[in-house]
Copies of this chain bind each other. A is one copy, B any other.
Amino acid sequence: MQNFDYMTPTRLIFGKGVISKLPEVMSGYGKKVLLTYGGGSIKKIGLYDKVKELLADREIFELSGIQPNPKYDPSVLDGVRICKENNIDVILAVGGGSVLDCSKAIAAGAKYDGDPWDLISYKVKAEDALPIVDIITLAATGSEYDCGGVISRTETNDKIGYMDEHLYPAVSFLDPTYTFTVPDKQTAAGCADAMNHIMEQYFCEDSTLLNDGFMEVGLKSLMVNVKKCLENPEDYTARAEMMLDCTYGCNAIYALGNSDSGWPCHGMEHALSAYYDITHGEGLAIITPRWMKHILNENTVSRFVKYGVNVFGIDSTLDKFEIANKAIDATYSFFESIGIPMHLKDVGIDESRINEMAHHVAVNEGLENAWAPLREEDIAEIFRASL
């Protein structure tokens, strides 16, 4: 068991109707609020109007149009500019993980005199950040309970996971009813994202009985509940359980004391969505089983056996490689069963830039130090196997 230093100070306010606590929560900050959101979905479900009504006594500035795989330019830059020009006191992010990720970069940038990219690229360490409150409308990234965000810079094909301890949301509102209208495609991709967050932590050298058990039930709960959500999008209990499952994904509580896995699938997927702007959860689902097949060997097989037996109930008396291969196939089949396109060509990616992307990943993601080390040629092979 490894040493660790852990804290997640975020307050989670969870359940149907909890937005009624918004005025009380926001009264703990100043008058000037930057409201950040994406497209029109929060208007469609009435959440935008509700927030404006509840915060009628605040001075609200807005940054809208934040996209999936949120962009440094214009979203982060615009947000920072609004904050600085108007002395914003607090950011209220309303939407999915992309809106919140973008808001975290804005929160740090607003308190920094230079180019916010200095922070995101870790050239400079943030010394402060604006407080963030969020209202989550998609069960997926877990950004509501961690201090990280992923920001894309289109001109350089960079997609960087940026973490800083100033960026834990102060308060996250999680009302599962806001996810009732999420399209099936996004519900499934959100599940795949959250499952991959767990897998990235599960497949490592050194874990504990407790962490393994947490992660195994986390995966099982996601698989059971996403199917219920897809069958009946207004199944409150299933939406609620899936929402909380996702919340734990990235705040490290699943892997306290575990050795670092290197998060290889995220490293590879970031290139796919940086180059092609695909849906992150779909990219992860496509890559994951190919990555598993690629790294399966005598050194790694025992983790796949544990995964297969405890998550998928595969007969533990079979040969270890048979269990491992069945587990990998079951992973693929599960993603397929919830409607995820399982080939890169299904999401518009062909052979043409694979070598370039593999090179980008090899240079930027440090995967030669992952649990199962990946060189540039391994990454290219995994991409090719995913076509």
Could you list which residues of chain A lie within 8 angstroms of chain B, going by C-beta atoms?
1-18, 21, 208-210, 212-214, 216-218, 220-221, 224-225, 236-237, 240-241, 244-245, 253, 256-257
Contacts and interface: CB of A to CB of B under 8 A. Distances in A.
A293 B291 CA distance: 50
B5 A209 contact: no
B4 A16 contact: no
24 contacts: A1-B236, A1-B237, A1-B240, A3-B14, A4-B12, A4-B13, A4-B14, A5-B18, A5-B21, A6-B12, A7-B10, A7-B12, A8-B8, A12-B256, A209-B217, A209-B221, A210-B217, A210-B218, A210-B241, A212-B217, A213-B217, A214-B217, A244-B256, A244-B257
A49 B133 CA distance: 44
Given A6-B14, A208-B221, A210-B241, 4 more contacts: A15-B257, A208-B244, A210-B244, A213-B218
Contacts of A8: 8
Nearest to A248: B210
A375 B256 CA distance: 42
Contacts of A209: 217, 220-221, 224-225, 241
Copy tally for this chain in the complex stands at: 2
A2 B220 CA distance: 21
Contacts of A212: 217
A210 to B, nearest CB: 4
Task: List 6 tightest A-B contacts by C-beta distance, closest first.
Answer: A213-B217, A3-B15, A9-B9, A7-B11, A1-B240, A210-B221
A22 to B, nearest CB: 13
A151 to B, nearest CB: 26
Contact of A213 (B2, B13, B221, B244): B221
Contacts of A6: 11-12, 14
A23 to B, nearest CB: 15
Contact of A15 (B1, B11, B217): B1
Contacts of A5: 11-14, 18, 21
A89 to B, nearest CB: 21
Contacts of A4: 12-15
A117 B5 CA distance: 35
Contacts of A7: 9-12
Contacts of A1: 15, 236-237, 240-241, 244
Contact of A256 (B14, B214, B218): B14
Contacts of A237: 1, 208
A257 B241 CA distance: 9
Nearest to A7: B11
A330 to B, nearest CB: 18
Contacts of A224: 209
A289 B232 CA distance: 41
Residue of A14, A210, A236, A240 ringed by the most chain B CB atoms within 10 A: A210
B11 A241 contact: no
A67 to B, nearest CB: 31
Contacts of A245: 210
A27 to B, nearest CB: 16
Contacts of A17: 3
Nearest to A13: B5
Contacts of A244: 1, 208, 210, 256-257
A112 B228 CA distance: 51
B210 A213 contact: no
A15 B221 CA distance: 30
Nearest to A241: B208
Nearest to A9: B9
